[in-house]
Amino acid sequence: MELTRRDALAALAGAGILAGGGAAALARDGFRDEGEPSADGESERPESERPESDRVVDALVATAHAVYPSAVENVGSFVETYAATKLDNRPDFRIGATETLDALDAEARITFDARFGELESAAGETVLRRVGAETAEPDPGGTTAEKVRYYYVNEVLFALYTSPTGGELVGIENPQGHPGGTDSYQRGPDR
Amino acid sequence: MSTGGSGSGSGTATPDRTPSRKVDVCVVGAGPAGALAANRLADRGHEVVVLEAGPRFDRSERRERMERAIRPAHGTHSVWGMGGERDAYTSSGEWFYPLNITRVKGVGGSTLHWQGMVMRLHESDFERHTRDGVGADWPIDYADLRPYYAEAERALGVAGASDNPFAPPRETPHPMPAFPPSYSDSIFAGACEEAGIAMHSVPNARNSEARDGRSECVGFGTCQPVCPSGAKYSADYTVEAAESKGVRVLDHVPVQRLEATDGGDRVGAAVYATPGGEEHRQEARQFVLAAGGVETPRLLLLSRSTDHPEGLANSSGAVGRYFMEHLFAGTGGRLDRPTRQNHVGFITSESHQFYDNDFEGVSPIKLEFLNYAGPSPVEQALTADEWGDDLLDSLRDSYGRHLAMGGLVGQLPRADNRITLDPSTTDDHGNPVPDVQWSLDDRTRRSLARANDLQARVFDELDADVEWTVGPDNTGPAYHHMGTTRMGDDSDESVVDPRLRTHDVANLTVASSSVFVTSGAMNPTLTIAALALKAANHVDDDL
């Protein structure tokens, strides 16, 4: 099942980031066509010049590859679109996620000699388990495990399961947090 | 606009919170009762000041509040900032009472987090003692309140239909069409027919179409505790209307006490604190106390003086007594087929068939058919100990086959269920906190058991696997505070008269569910609204 720009917009709207601004209000559009220049050209910069927020986006994408079900496609585009815009609009989130990234990167370097954001899904999952995020309570002011759970694992799960496509994966086309109207609650499963 | 201070209480770095001069009416509390009373009095040309203990919430932040409500890290209290020293309380009764999840302090009051269900009380609720030999009778009847109910439905914006054969008589249709029944209602319908239980629509204070500059419902599914779209009525909209007519609303100004004057016959001023640590006196010709069923009696008790040694307007000793709640009865389980839950956060069908029942020793029962049975997938995902395909499998297994019924029964008024002051604990201003002394009686337990029996009949017909029941032994409150400044003709047994004015103090009116004499089993806010409009009319008459 393909995640779309509409899903990213819906997840951002549900979080109060976008309220009718649409794609024009995105900090970055991960669904832009291949070859089409990005709005700011950041992805073209050398690694050493990329802003810290890009590393956070990479890490959130890696988290999503690790914790999303295999049935979803376009994970990178979806999370990039969602996360870049959220980081731009929520300073508290940006600060907390950036601070927490150090712990994820440290664990990734120990085990895989790479930044967390560079890991494939299986390796990313290993790191997330090693820091204890799978069973930790989410807490933005808690332990490393609790902060990883809050800023990374739950962040991308919230984005997925409040989006229309994420809801449909489970069987609900208007999931909680998504303004999907008042028709769907009246419909039966076969309509 | 009244002379004197002109700040609205927010929107600037240093809002003006000094008192106004030449004020006709000072209203304490900016929840639905205070907002409606202030708005009505402004319509009648009076100078009105509203003093609100809590903040003015920025409406543009509602989606962030919704995210906090959905994500498990933040906790229920954080959505509207409840808790802490400001809201300290104790609960020394037989049953613990979770006060701070039952209310919101701020402009809009508890309608910010309410469900938005708005039913009229039945005729029988006003005559409980005459009809059943229990409780008490109100000094007014349904006919007295009926025109105010209609006004309240227009003021809140109620979506409803006239398909409820058990409802009391009404004069006009609801302002908006009812929300259509849900798919899961249709599953219940067949079983209810077999069980001999009639279903009908539910009046909702929620826009089924755009109205009053507010959106129609768009289905965020988080009605309780926050509606990001504004489709659900909350009293901040009425406050906004009142302010446009010149009403001055100060936020962050908890009233510390009411000062009696004229030998105790009148209130001279409301003394309030500001965030800067100052105390001010707001004088007015009339005072309307609209601070809910807990803070209203607490403020009267805090306002004791030489002339009122047991608390202001408390010569009867009834202030704080007869605290009542509605209790929840519920049954839930699973079917072998999809039930389509959690698309919206409100209900669309109920049964009031057993409200005016003839069961032996049982109070009114209201039955509800829920549209949000079982876990919400996103909330389950955020608390799961797994992820990836395992998580998705669990979500699919958990979602979509649940069904649940709820129900409310009401407590009778009992003097020993009460709000008192606890001098051993103080709030952020050094005032004794409210102590909730609350217990359940046998009649309430019987009523809950009977509600469970009715629910079991339906689930039997559904051939569902019942997974949980909430009844007499594990029930909880519906967050409706009633009865603590009861209305009556006899000044020895009640606090306010049928005009909602205190027996003891000539210029002090109470607009709140605290004046309820019996609780019924209907969600109380429409009756609160109707009483607030009635109270405002009487205050207008007195000015």
pLDDT digits (tens, 9 = 90+) for B9-49: 444 567 999 999 999 999 999 999 999 999 999 999 999 99
Alpha-carbon distance B444 to nearest alpha carbon in chain A (angstroms): 34
What pLDDT is attached to residue A23? 60
Domain that holds residue A69: 5-34+51-182
What pLDDT is attached to residue B43? 98
Region class of A106: left (phi > 0), else alpha (psi between -120 and 50), else beta: alpha
What pLDDT is attached to residue A36? 56
- Under an 8 A CB cutoff, do B396 and A186 touch? no
Residue A150 lies in a domain: yes
What pLDDT is attached to residue B240? 98
Region class of B376: left (phi > 0), else alpha (psi between -120 and 50), else beta: beta
- Checking if the pLDDT of B143 tops 50, the result is yes
Q: DSSP code of A151?
A: I
Which chain B residue lies closest to A174 (C-alpha atoms)? B343
Q: Residue A10's pLDDT band (boundaries 50, 70, 90)?
A: confident
Higher-confidence position of B75 and B220: B220
Q: Residue A31's pLDDT band (boundaries 50, 70, 90)?
A: confident
Which chain A residue lies closest to B387 (C-alpha atoms)? A67
Q: What is the pLDDT of residues B83-133, one digit of tens each?
A: 999 999 999 999 999 999 999 999 999 999 999 999 999 999 999 999 999
Provide the residue type at B480 as one letter: H
Which residues of chain B lie closer than 8 angstroms to A135, CB-CB?
A: 385
Residue A39 lies in a domain: no
What pLDDT is attached to residue A16? 76
Which chain B residue lies closest to A147 (C-alpha atoms)? B73
Alpha-carbon distance A186 to nearest alpha carbon in chain B (angstroms): 4
Taking only Cα atoms into account, the Rg of chain B, rounded to an integer number of angstroms, comes to 23
Q: What was the ipTM of the complex prediction?
A: 0.92
| pLDDT-above-70 percentage for chain B | 98
Alpha-carbon distance A29 to nearest alpha carbon in chain B (angstroms): 22
What pLDDT is attached to residue B94? 93
Residues 6+ apart with CB under 8 A from B451: B329, B354, B365, B367, B407, B409, B471
The minimal CB distance from B221 to the residues A135, A170, A177 is found for A177
H/E stretch holding A95 reads helix A91-112
What is the mean pLDDT of the segment spanning B57-61? 94
The minimal CB distance from A171 to the residues B221, B378, B400 is found for B400
- Under an 8 A CB cutoff, do A176 and B342 touch? yes
Of B461, B364, B448, B327, which is closest to residue B403 (Cα–Cα)?
Answer: B461
Judge residue B425's burial from the number of C-beta atoms within 10 Å of its C-beta, 0-12 exposed, 13-18 middle, 19 or more buried. middle
Residue A46 lies in a domain: no
Which chain A residue lies closest to B220 (C-alpha atoms)? A179
Computed over every residue of chain B, the mean pLDDT equals: 95
Residue A41 lies in a domain: no
Q: How far is CA A123 from the centre of its chain?
A: 17
Alpha-carbon distance B200 to nearest alpha carbon in chain A (angstroms): 15
What pLDDT is attached to residue B2? 41
Which residues of chain B lie closer than 8 angstroms to A66, CB-CB?
A: 387-388
Mutate to test the interface with A, among B389, B392, B394, B399 (most CBs of A within 10 A): B392
Residues 6+ apart with CB under 8 A from B409: B326, B327, B329, B363, B364, B365, B366, B444, B447, B448, B451, B521
- Under an 8 A CB cutoff, do A16 and B62 touch? yes
Q: Residue B356's pLDDT band (boundaries 50, 70, 90)?
A: very high
Computed over every residue of chain A, the mean pLDDT equals: 88
With tokens 């509800």, the residue in question is B368
- Checking if the pLDDT of B442 tops 60, the result is yes
| pLDDT-above-90 percentage for chain A | 70
Judge residue B357's burial from the number of C-beta atoms within 10 Å of its C-beta, 0-12 exposed, 13-18 middle, 19 or more buried. middle
Alpha-carbon distance B241 to nearest alpha carbon in chain A (angstroms): 24
Which chain A residue lies closest to B69 (C-alpha atoms)? A177
Give me A4's structure tokens: 């779309």
Which chain B residue lies closest to A71 (C-alpha atoms)? B389
Residue A43 lies in a domain: no
- Geometric angle at alpha carbon B495, from B490 and B497, rounded to 5°: 60
Mutate to test the interface with A, among B184, B201, B220 (most CBs of A within 10 A): B220
Which chain B residue lies closest to A70 (C-alpha atoms)? B389
Alpha-carbon distance A185 to nearest alpha carbon in chain B (angstroms): 5
Residue B351, classed as helix, strand or coil, is strand
DSSP calls for B215-247: PPP---S-TTT--TTS-B--THHHHHHHHHTT-
What pLDDT is attached to residue A20? 54
Residues 6+ apart with CB under 8 A from A177: A14, A158, A162, B66, B67, B70, B220, B221, B222, B378
What pLDDT is attached to residue A50? 66
Residue A106 lies in a domain: yes
Cα of first residue to Cα of last residue in chain A, in angstroms, is: 20
The minimal CB distance from B73 to the residues A138, A176, A178 is found for A138
CA B137/CA B492 separation, integer angstroms: 15
What pLDDT is attached to residue A45? 54
What is the mean pLDDT of the segment spanning A99-128? 96
Number of residues assigned to chain B: 543
Which residues of chain B lie closer than 8 angstroms to A9, CB-CB?
A: none
Which residues of chain A lie closer than 8 angstroms to B62, CB-CB?
A: 16
What pLDDT is attached to residue A53? 84
Residue A56, classed as helix, strand or coil, is helix
- Checking if the pLDDT of A30 tops 90, the result is no
The count of domains in chain A is 1
Which residues of chain B lie closer than 8 angstroms to A172, CB-CB?
A: 340, 342-343, 377, 399-400
CA A100/CA B161 separation, integer angstroms: 53
Residue B172, classed as helix, strand or coil, is coil
- Under an 8 A CB cutoff, do B399 and A69 touch? no
Of B294, B263, B232, B360, which is closest to residue B100 (Cα–Cα)?
Answer: B294
With tokens 């409100």, the residue in question is B346
Alpha-carbon distance B218 to nearest alpha carbon in chain A (angstroms): 4
Higher-confidence position of B27 and A17: B27
CA A87/CA A78 separation, integer angstroms: 14
- Under an 8 A CB cutoff, do B220 and A184 touch? no
- Under an 8 A CB cutoff, do A69 and B388 touch? yes
What pLDDT is attached to residue A46? 56
Bridge partners, B287 (sequence order): B26, B508
Residue A191 lies in a domain: no
Between the alpha carbon of residue B456 and those of residues A184, B375, B388, B429, B521, the distances in Å are 28, 21, 38, 50, 20
Of B218, B330, B270, which is closest to residue B29 (Cα–Cα)?
Answer: B270
What is the mean pLDDT of the segment spanning B372-393? 96
- Under an 8 A CB cutoff, do A158 and B71 touch? yes
Alpha-carbon distance B242 to nearest alpha carbon in chain A (angstroms): 27
The minimal CB distance from A15 to the residues B63, B221, B348 is found for B63
The minimal CB distance from B396 to the residues A125, A140, A171 is found for A171
Between the alpha carbon of residue B353 and those of residues B52, B162, B192, B197, the distances in Å are 40, 15, 12, 7
- Checking if the pLDDT of B227 tops 60, the result is yes
Which residues of chain A lie closer than 8 angstroms to B382, CB-CB?
A: 138, 154, 157-158, 161
Residues 6+ apart with CB under 8 A from A167: A161, A173, A174, A175, A178, A180, B377
Residue A116 lies in a domain: yes
Cβ-Cβ pairs closer than 8 A, A with B, add up to: 161
The minimal CB distance from B399 to the residues A15, A170, A179 is found for A170
Give me B237's structure tokens: 């909209």
What pLDDT is attached to residue A39? 46
- Checking if the pLDDT of B263 tops 60, the result is yes
A48 C-beta neighbours (distance < 10 Å), count = 5
- Checking if the pLDDT of A134 tops 80, the result is yes
What is the mean pLDDT of the segment spanning A25-54? 64
Main-chain phi, psi angles of A177, to 5 degrees: 95, -10
Residues 6+ apart with CB under 8 A from B393: none
What pLDDT is attached to residue A47? 60
- Under an 8 A CB cutoff, do A68 and B216 touch? no
What is the mean pLDDT of the segment spanning B274-278? 95
The minimal CB distance from B396 to the residues A19, A170, A185 is found for A170
What pLDDT is attached to residue A19? 61
What pLDDT is attached to residue A94? 94
Alpha-carbon distance A181 to nearest alpha carbon in chain B (angstroms): 4
